[in-house]
Chains A and B, each alone.
Chain A
Amino acid sequence: MSVKLTEEMLKALPDARGHFGAFGGRFVSETLIDSLMTLEREYLRLKDDAEFQATFDKDLADYVGRPSPLYFAERLTKKAGGAQIWLKREDLNHTGAHKVNNTIGQALLASFLGKKRIIAETGAGQHGVATATVCARLGLECHVFMGAEDVKRQSLNVYRMKLLGATVHAVQSGTKTLKDAMNDAMRDWVANVDDTFYIIGTVAGPHPYPLLVRDFQSVIGRETRRQSLVQAGKLPDALVACVGGGSNAIGMFHPFLADETVELYGVEAGGLGIETGQHAAPLCAGRPGVLHGNRTYLMEDENGQIAATHSVSAGLDYPGVGPEHSWLKDIGRAHYVSVTDDEALDGFRMLTQIEGIMPALETAHAVAYAVKLAATMDKDKMIVINISGRGDKDIHTIAQLDGIEI
């Protein structure tokens, strides 16, 4: 059952301790507390600082290329046979995904705090590339932690990061994917906390990260809201976005949370199918727990050990999710669903072949679900899919699945 959210309520979240209802918080070792409190204090000050905001907006316009277009996908709409499908083109951003909105914001924070060394974790490599990019531009030392498994899957992005001057650390511990990359980034941060700024790529992690990443990504939803009113003359009826950690989804959803008529759909990675256990869908099939500094829905076993995840898409291959999504799920404001690897691959091919837009495999999950959803809705209804990233980085994976060597 959905609750009516007011602007007032939304402004009060997260609360002073970083909680979204029962979720969020700051569950980290004492060594990091002081840095997180400093970051929180400085961010809350800069958030309303005219110079900081003007610099952020200018960078988004001149460097990232914002606003990104809202595009009516006419042939995809016909194919789905129901609601109009529009695409928010975050894939057209500099570096090819929504991730750069956040790295611009956090690198700016790092500069204001006088930190010269940047670390980041990455899954698919999009956040790593976006971080390496802003570091190159600002002349900051950049270290990216990436699971050894993902280094193999996303070799193109690894090379891009190296070209940009970043050092890529292949993480060999645990499952060698995104969660382990985040563990190692946290470990590096503990050891170098005086001179290092940790640019977290998603809306998870300890407070204030879920807050500040959401704020930086909310430009997606604000633009979509404005563009919908201008181009379609109304607000969308539904928004669809993929959810790994959930930064593109929260960026799209947040400015619409008080708009009751707008339904929100977060699409998780169903992997080989929820029933197989081989997936990365904590909101659909997990339960609340504590990992990486926040309480949120997790994939874990009955003893509280974090479970191995599976997804064809490295960027969704994460056992947790941003705490604000956990809250939105529990209050019933957003729907969380999943699509399988195979459905996502179909979505990838469909958008590529009938719109000439090649989405990232992460994004393809949202496409696949939106097409199914559109078919159940009337033709006068409107869906916006957040096309969170482009698929160039996934061409090797797709070719491999097709049995082609390139």
Chain B
Amino acid sequence: MSRIEGVMKALKDQGRKALIPYITAGDPHPDQSVGLMHTLVKAGADIIELGVPFSDPMADGPVIQLACERALVHGTTLRQVIAMVKEFRKTDDSTPIVLMGYLNPMEAMGYEAFADAAADAGVDGILTVDLPHEEADEVAPLFAARNLDPIFLMAPTTTDERIKAISEHSSGYVYYVSIKGVTGSATINVDEVAEKVAHIHNIMALPVGVGFGIRDADTAAAISRVSDGVIVGSVLVDTIARHQADPDALKKALTDLLHPMRVAMDNPAS
């Protein structure tokens, strides 16, 4: 059983849902990333999605584009991101890490070298935004051989036929993109998400994490009731942008944002 599967199963047994924060590695500075990952865990994260910065993140909005630019100014590379995971693993052997990014940095590193290094560092899943399963023939066996869970996206526009096909190529969980738009854009509609997630669960059995548009504890709690996990990205990255000059204030601000989400998700009465 992969680390992601283990966490998802344990949460299910406890009747809880996964809280999955996203930050861009190297933002605001590569030296701070490992510390921020531990902060996220302390604040209640079950799984961390660690963004690999890319110069042209075309599925992301301005908040994450700027995070990529901040990380790239300091020369953050995919190899460094993998090294951050290795460092994180020295003191945390239980929190799954999903690398989330675009295909080209992986292709430039070489798929096999990437898969080897990621597995060796203790990475658990790979989410490649611009890699639909139809184009994943080359990487899928490399990931499978190293127990790296391939995480794919589903969207409001995804047809039943594709839901089935995507689930057959996925393990760990699938990432449901709750809105038509880029990261950090519109407001989430809980009823629509509930309906679509239920529909997806009629077709496949993997856990469904929901992302895009979750900005506060109330929304996180509402989405957690209709899905298996809540993915929070732009609002955290925006917080990083606002506190980039003061590392201690940044850790506190991230905690103040994430921890209430954890509490609200775990306490259905609230």
What is the interface of chain A, defined by CB distance below 8 A to chain B?
Answer: 17, 25-31, 33-35, 173-174, 179-180, 182-183, 186-187, 190-194, 289-293, 298, 300, 302-306
Contacts and interface: CB of A to CB of B under 8 A. Distances in A.
A303 B135 CA distance: 21
A305 B54 contact: yes
Contact of B158 (A30, A186, A298): A30
B82 to A, nearest CB: 12
A306 B65 CA distance: 14
Contact of A187 (B61, B79, B152, B159): B61
Interface string B102-140: 111111110000000000000000000111101100000
A306 B56 contact: yes
Contact of B153 (A30, A34, A193): A30
Nearest to B103: A290
Given A31-B177, A291-B56, A304 B104 contact: yes
B158 A27 contact: no
A304 B130 contact: no
Contacts of A27: 103, 130-132, 135
Interface stretch (B180-188, B217-225, B245-253): B180-188
Interface centre among A25, A30, A194 (most CB of B within 10 A): A30
Q: Identify which of B59, B77, B78 gathers the most chain A CB atoms within 10 Å of its CB.
A: B59
Given A33-B158, A290-B130, A306-B55, 14 more contacts: A25-B135, A31-B180, A35-B157, A183-B57, A183-B58, A186-B58, A187-B59, A190-B180, A191-B186, A290-B107, A292-B56, A302-B108, A304-B104, A304-B108
Interface string B177-204: 1001110011000000000000000000
Nearest to B62: A173
B12 interface: no
B241 interface: no
Nearest to B157: A34
29 contacts: A17-B135, A25-B135, A27-B131, A27-B135, A29-B58, A29-B129, A29-B130, A30-B158, A30-B166, A31-B59, A31-B153, A33-B132, A33-B162, A34-B162, A173-B65, A174-B55, A174-B65, A179-B56, A186-B58, A191-B182, A191-B185, A290-B104, A292-B56, A302-B108, A303-B78, A303-B79, A304-B78, A305-B55, A305-B105
Contacts of B102: 290
Interface of B: 54-62, 65, 69, 72, 77-79, 102-109, 129-132, 134-135, 152-159, 162, 166, 177, 180-182, 185-186
A290 B104 CA distance: 5
Contacts of B77: 303
Nearest to B159: A34
A191 B134 contact: no
B152 A30 contact: yes
Of all A-B residue pairs in the complex, the 5 with the closest CB atoms, nearest first, are A304-B108, A304-B105, A30-B153, A191-B181, A29-B59
Nearest to A288: B107
Contacts of B56: 174, 179-180, 183, 291-292, 306
A190 B178 CA distance: 12
Given A191-B182, A291-B56, A304-B109, A30 B132 contact: yes
A237 B263 CA distance: 74
Contact of A292 (B58, B106, B107): B58
A395 B177 CA distance: 46
Nearest to B109: A304
B259 to A, nearest CB: 30
Nearest to B54: A305
Contacts of B57: 183
B104 A30 contact: no
Nearest to A173: B65
A304 B158 CA distance: 29
Contacts of B132: 26-28, 30, 33
Contacts of B109: 303-304
Contacts of A191: 180-182, 185-186
B103 A33 contact: no
Contacts of A31: 59, 153, 155-157, 177, 180-181
Contacts of B155: 29-31, 33-34
Contacts of A293: 130
B157 A29 contact: no
Nearest to A287: B108
A187 B183 CA distance: 10
A81 to B, nearest CB: 44
B24 to A, nearest CB: 14
A292 B58 CA distance: 8
Nearest to A320: B56
Given A27-B130, A30-B154, A290-B130, A187 B106 contact: no
A163 B182 CA distance: 30
Contact of B182 (A33, A180, A190, A194): A190
Nearest to B156: A31
A187 B58 contact: yes
Contacts of B69: 173-174
> Among A17, A173, A290, A302, which residue has the most Cβ atoms of chain B within 10 A?
A290
Contact of B59 (A35, A180, A190): A190
Contacts of B157: 30-31, 33-35, 193
Contacts of B180: 31, 190-194
Nearest to A34: B157
A188 to B, nearest CB: 9
B105 to A, nearest CB: 4
